[in-house]
Chains A and B, each alone.
Chain A
Amino acid sequence: MNEQTGRRVVTVRAVDKHFGTGPTRIHALKNVSLEAFAGEILMLVGPSGCGKTTLLSAIAGTLRVESGEIDVFGKPVHAMRNADLTRFRAAHIGFIFQQFNLIPTIGIAENVAVPLLIRGSRTAEAVDRARAALESVGLGARWRERPLKLSGGEQQRVAIARALVHEPPLVICDEPTAALDARNGEIVLELFRNVARSPDRAVIIVTHDNRIFSYADRIARMDDGEIIEETLQPRTEPPHFIHEHAHAVSSA
């Protein structure tokens, strides 16, 4: 996949976005163009404030751009009506947030079931599928627990299960390791690589954590609202202990 032989799933063409007005107006995205392909993990990297999260939000259809075009699975996200965009997100995109954003007052299985409930599944069926998704991230036995009973790494695994439970073809991750220590971050990334990668799925990760760059198939480096460099990189094996742990977790 490193030769970009996969299907093109995201196309960003000449996108511009400003924030604010007057002297405080910021040019967040400057004529940005980008592509993402099925079967690859694309990382948007760069310093804080360079526009990576803005670009991710625009691709996810949670933020409107002022000019340019964004096609996701052939659909013009930039031109969709809000209601259509909402339905599109529910059907095609899995989200993993930096702060996990798990609802603390419900159990983790119900948290994982949320994308299915949004798509109209019955509660019992959604929770059954959520429990299976939790099994795949090694938390099947703890499906009744509340999120705050879990460690940061475990919460992020729940968030991964939630992002994948409805089998979206595009997974969006915003700083997935920012709230985790190094060991948990690498475990989560390896688990994420094992679970998320498939020939039909694209994964876009925003990060400035250079410890995890090795998990990317392609890296788009951003600075000051522009993509300044795109590099393909060979896949590398993670450190042995991480691989073993992640394997144990995903096969638990």
Chain B
Amino acid sequence: MLRLALKMLFGDTAKYLMLVVGLFFATFLIVQQASVFCGLMSWTTSTLSNVGAPIFVVEERVEQINETNPLRDTDVARVRSVAGVKWAMPLYSGIQRVRLDDGSYKTVQLLGIDSASLAGSPGRMIEGNIEDLRLPNTVIIDELAVTRLARSPDRPIRVGDRFEINDIEARVVGICDAKRSFTGGPYVWTTYERALQYTPASRKMLSAVIAASADGLTPSQAAVEISQTTGLRAFVNEGFGDNPNDFNTSTIWWYVRNTGIPVSFGTTVIIGLIVGIAISCQTFYAFVLDNIRHLGALKAMGMSNPRLSLILLIQSATVGMIGFGIGLLVCSGFAYIAIQNQQPPFMMPWQIPVAAFGIIQTICFIAALLGIIRLSAYEPAMVFRA
């Protein structure tokens, strides 16, 4: 019966291809747009990944990492004084403009970390030594900066090159691997004290205090203790999930609630869904109508409604799997190019293809259901009519 169902399906080449193309298109739109959305959302938390501290302490009204309500420098000492804190260091994070040799300006995400401990330094150095950050007027740049701050397309920036931040010299002593920022500017690390020199002065300059929990305490427990003791807001940095005290979770939900990004991507995903439903249901229904006499003849010859329904379900599920497979394959190609070029943002957690597969199979089930309803209402005696 499986063979019969598939041969009937593949035999009608035009409708089969139309179904596959419709479902491929729907799969591609859903998976690609959802993955770009997740990628973009992951970029919003890239400072958290790049700094990598287990606890971030910020001003009490701050909801997301890219929002800066500066603290007093004394707040570092207040956090250190909390019993559950192993260590606490200052962090500067802000957007600054870099002046290149040719006089042009580029925006960068400047991070200032504690010069003694270097807590918050890049996770992986590609070139140079993190210790060199203690030398005068030095910075470490990420890989994106190599091309973004290049002197010319043929002359990328290298270790030893110089540029200016706020008229103060910055000498590149290292290149590191870093997650790309939401604003698109490359990350530049320097010491906290030097970051304050690079930044136009204001009364309060401390962006956050990064900390770690004392032995025997989880970061969540320490964060609660910090909040209760200092009145500041302490987030843990464990990754997006269902913990509202996680800075990644809080940041991503802030962007979901306060920007039009989810609406924009969601609209495209819904369009993909509608296109998939429209093309697939219409084409599959036309396929059933084209074959109604043959299916009716099978019914007259003694094939039961459940077995006829099974034929339609097999056919629709098959085109669903093929369309989904091609869509996912093309999306993987898109992902490969995106990752090579570092843009557009792309992140495909396993939930996206699983959800897309469920959606596509639901579309196919709806399409099959329409055919089943039509076929169930078809009297086998109709096949005797000329």
- B9 nearest CB neighbor, chain A only: A105
- A105 nearest CB neighbor, chain B only: B11
A95-B7 contact in complex given A53-B385, A62-B384, A105-B12, C-beta closer than 8 Å: no
Contact stretch, chosen from A5-13, A115-123, A149-157, A209-217: A115-123
The digit string for A49-74, where 1 denotes a CB below 8 A from any CB of B, is 00001001100101100000000000
Q: Quick check: is A83 within 8 A (CB to CB) of the other chain?
A: yes
Flag if B301 contacts A90 (CB, 8 Å).
yes
Residues on A with C-beta less than 8 A from B11 are: 104-106
A62-B379 contact in complex given A56-B384, A103-B294, A106-B7, C-beta closer than 8 Å: yes
- B3 nearest CB neighbor, chain A only: A123
Shortest CB-to-CB span from B381 to chain A, Å, is 4
Flag if B10 contacts A95 (CB, 8 Å).
no
- A120 nearest CB neighbor, chain B only: B1
Q: Quick check: is A87 within 8 A (CB to CB) of the other chain?
A: yes
Q: Quick check: is A32 within 8 A (CB to CB) of the other chain?
A: no
Flag if B10 contacts A115 (CB, 8 Å).
no
Residues on B with C-beta less than 8 A from A60 are: 300, 381
Flag if A90 contacts B379 (CB, 8 Å).
no
Q: Quick check: is A99 within 8 A (CB to CB) of the other chain?
A: yes
The digit string for B363-386, where 1 denotes a CB below 8 A from any CB of A, is 000000000000000011101111
Residues on B with C-beta less than 8 A from A102 are: 294
Shortest CB-to-CB span from B295 to chain A, Å, is 9
Flag if B297 contacts A101 (CB, 8 Å).
yes
Residues on B with C-beta less than 8 A from A88 are: 302
One of B10, B381, B386 near A57 (C-beta < 8 A): B381
- CB contact list, B288-309 vs A, under 8 A: 291, 293-294, 296-305, 307
Flag if B8 contacts A105 (CB, 8 Å).
yes
Most central of A62, A63, A99 by chain B CB within 10 Å: A62
Most central of B305, B307, B381 by chain A CB within 10 Å: B381
Flag if A89 contacts B386 (CB, 8 Å).
no
A95-B8 contact in complex given A101-B383, A117-B1, C-beta closer than 8 Å: no
Cα distance A86–B376 when bound, in Å?
Answer: 13
Q: Quick check: is B4 within 8 A (CB to CB) of the other chain?
A: yes
Flag if B301 contacts A118 (CB, 8 Å).
yes
Cα distance A97–B291 when bound, in Å?
Answer: 15
Q: Quick check: is A178 within 8 A (CB to CB) of the other chain?
A: yes
Q: Quick check: is A4 within 8 A (CB to CB) of the other chain?
A: no
A99-B380 contact in complex given A91-B302, A106-B11, A118-B303, C-beta closer than 8 Å: no
Which A residues lie at the B interface, using CB under 8 A? 53, 56-57, 60, 62-63, 83, 86-91, 93, 95, 97-99, 101-106, 110, 114-115, 117-119, 123, 174-175, 178
13 additional contacts, CB 8 Å, given A83-B304, A106-B7, A117-B1?
A53-B384, A62-B380, A62-B383, A89-B301, A90-B301, A98-B384, A99-B293, A101-B293, A101-B294, A102-B294, A110-B3, A114-B301, A118-B302
Closest 4 pairs (CB-CB, A-B): A105-B11, A90-B302, A101-B297, A57-B381
